[in-house]
Amino acid sequence: MKNLKFISGLFLGIFLGVFLIILITCKSESPTPVQQVPDSFTQINGLNNYAGEVYKLTIDNVKYIVVSNGSDGGIAIIKHQ
């Protein structure tokens, strides 16, 4: 009798597992397409106390801030959050 309960519980568990997997995969929505932003490179003006140049850079929908030290030639590229 215990074997019959075990086998029926096993098949019921497998059936419920497969049913839940099918239910979850069918309910999942397709991801919304990401709006493609064109690549751009623009200078930010209006920084009062900074002698260098600051730019906003967008490449492949990733935004960066580029800081250039005009006198020494140093450049820092920072990924914008």
pLDDT tens digits along 10-47: 999 999 999 998 888 876 666 777 788 888 888 888 77
Q: What pLDDT was estimated at residue 28?
A: 62
Q: What pLDDT was estimated at residue 29?
A: 66
Strands (E), the chain: 40-44, 53-59, 62-68, 75-79
Measured CA angle at 59 (ends 55, 62), to 5 deg: 90
Sign (positive or negative) of CA dihedral 21, 23, 26, 32: negative
